[in-house]
Copies of this chain bind each other. A is one copy, B any other.
Amino acid sequence: MSKDEKGITAEKDEFSEWFTQIMLKADLADYTKVSGCIVFKPTAWAIWEKIRDLVDIRMKKMGVQNVSFPLFIPESLLVKEEEHVEGFTPEVAWVTHTGKTKLAERLAVRPTSEAIMYDSFSNWIRSWRDLPLKYNQWANVVRWEFKHPVPFLRTREFHFNEGHTVYATEAEAEAEKDQVLGMYKDICDNYLAMPSLIGKKTEKEKFAGAVYSCSLEHYMPNGKAIQGAAFHSDGQNFAKAYEIKFVNQKEKSEYAWQNTWAISTRTLGIVFALHSDDKGLIMPPKVAPNKVVIVPIIFADTKDKVLGKASSIKQKLEKYGTILDDREEYKPGFKFNEWEMKGIPIRIELGPKDLEKNSVMIARRDTGEKKSVKIDQVEEEVEKLLEEIQINLFNKAKKLLDEAQVNVTDLAELKKAIKDKKIAIAPLCKETRCEEDLKFKTGGAKVLNIPDEQPAKTKCVMCGEDSDYVARVGKSY
């Protein structure tokens, strides 16, 4: 493969093409013969496992336990909650046969697990003593969307955590909201360097079956917002549909209060899209499985000496998953490009001239800066640089997000903001009519979410009547 073939030949604003090239050339994923389903290759999957571990440790502190429910949902269970079934059945993959036998009842491949879980919950929950019940599963789900699939960002099979909690009171269920959203925000901010806007979804955009939904919305360099992790307050909707009742301390039977919440492999796509550049992927150091690569500059006469030193540096940097690229069939320049493409945060170059000065060259992936560092200071310098890169990636993304937001007061300003690929902060009323009108008049923008903190009410930019809230509006992936 020539150097040119390895580089990204698309500009970042030709987003789809650029993103696809990143994915393939940085070896993050590949297409398969199953339309809309990808292979998650080792680097991408390692970052997902890191996200899983970060969520797991925080969840367990909240008293949540992992379980595993069946992949299949009998059709008769799926259809019990009316909004839920309407939202999901158009995208369900149906198993109709096993071996040569036709099934008496079709089985849905789970698009989400409320229906199968809550049927069990209704058997398990009898008394206030059984509550709260806090379960989570890490699962693959299938939603056969008919829109154009994009690796990570819109795949027909994806992976997520699905937290499903049941409480005796509305107040307890409500208290979980900030805990869950805070957990996701912490991981997105501090590990994925991926700032977010938290808020409530509109009636139109909420999860099918929920009372209300909250989301983390992210902003990508192509000027599109994208929904990340989410929290859904189910109220007693599912409890009523699936008969989840308990006897309270006053011996009375009541419906339980439920929440569901999730972060998915779509998040990987957002991380990759957000931080990368025309040289390829940039991985936030805290989640990169390999944070450092050492490229020795090899000449026949100094080979042993250089490789010996390179290998002792590798040992010192073991905890960073350091790679020593000692392949002799490739030139250093080729290797530099390859590891830049793959997004390794730090590259250490080491040749005979460096050795003479008892130093190495260290290059940052994010800024491209290079500096000479004494060998006995390499560990300290790497540690410092990894922190700097992590912070720099977050700050850059935060600046992008901050600058993307503009306040608008009328439709003309809203339309201009959307045309400029901004997130408009717009006063709106809660009429679905206005939301649909907004989508039409802006050429496809939608309400992303509604921030908690609200200014004084004013007039809806669509209908001119009293506004109910200011909302974030933008084109969304």
Does A142 make an interface contact (CB < 8 A)?
A: yes
If A94-B97, A329-B129 touch, whether A71 touches B116 (CB-CB below 8 Å) is no
Nearest chain B residue, comparing its CB with the CB of A329: B129
Does A439 make an interface contact (CB < 8 A)?
A: no
**Cβ-defined contact, A65 with B42, below 8 A:** yes
**Cβ-defined contact, A74 with B33, below 8 A:** yes
**Cβ-defined contact, B95 with A67, below 8 A:** no
Contact among B49, B71, B99, B142 with A157 in the assembled complex (CB-CB below 8 Å): B71
**Cβ-defined contact, A96 with B94, below 8 A:** yes
Does A92 make an interface contact (CB < 8 A)?
A: yes
The tally of residues in A whose CB lies under 8 Å from a CB in B reads 54
**Cβ-defined contact, B120 with A70, below 8 A:** no
Q: Which residues of B contact A95 (CB under 8 A)?
A: 93-96, 109
Q: Which residues of B contact A94 (CB under 8 A)?
A: 95-98
Query: 1/0 per residue A116-137: CB within 8 Å of B?
Result: 1001100110000100000100
- Distance, CA A71 to CA B141, complexed state (A): 9
Q: Which residues, 188 to 212 on A, are CB-close (under 8 Å) to B?
A: none
Does A318 make an interface contact (CB < 8 A)?
A: no
If A45-B66, A71-B140, A135-B42 touch, whether A33 touches B119 (CB-CB below 8 Å) is yes
Does A410 make an interface contact (CB < 8 A)?
A: no
Number of copies: 2
Nearest chain B residue, comparing its CB with the CB of A76: B33
Contact among B69, B90, B93, B98 with A100 in the assembled complex (CB-CB below 8 Å): B90
Q: Which residues of B contact A69 (CB under 8 A)?
A: 32, 39-40
- Distance, CA A159 to CA B48, complexed state (A): 19
- Distance, CA A157 to CA B46, complexed state (A): 25
Q: Which residues, 12 to 41 on A, are CB-close (under 8 Å) to B?
A: 30, 32-34, 37-41
Does A144 make an interface contact (CB < 8 A)?
A: yes
Closest 8 A/B residue pairs (Cβ) = A98-B144, A37-B70, A42-B65, A40-B68, A94-B97, A90-B99, A34-B70, A96-B96
- 19 other contacts beyond A45-B67, A71-B71, A92-B99, with CB at 8 A cut-off? A32-B120, A34-B72, A34-B74, A34-B107, A40-B69, A42-B66, A42-B135, A71-B109, A71-B157, A72-B157, A93-B98, A94-B95, A94-B96, A94-B97, A94-B98, A95-B95, A95-B96, A95-B109, A99-B144
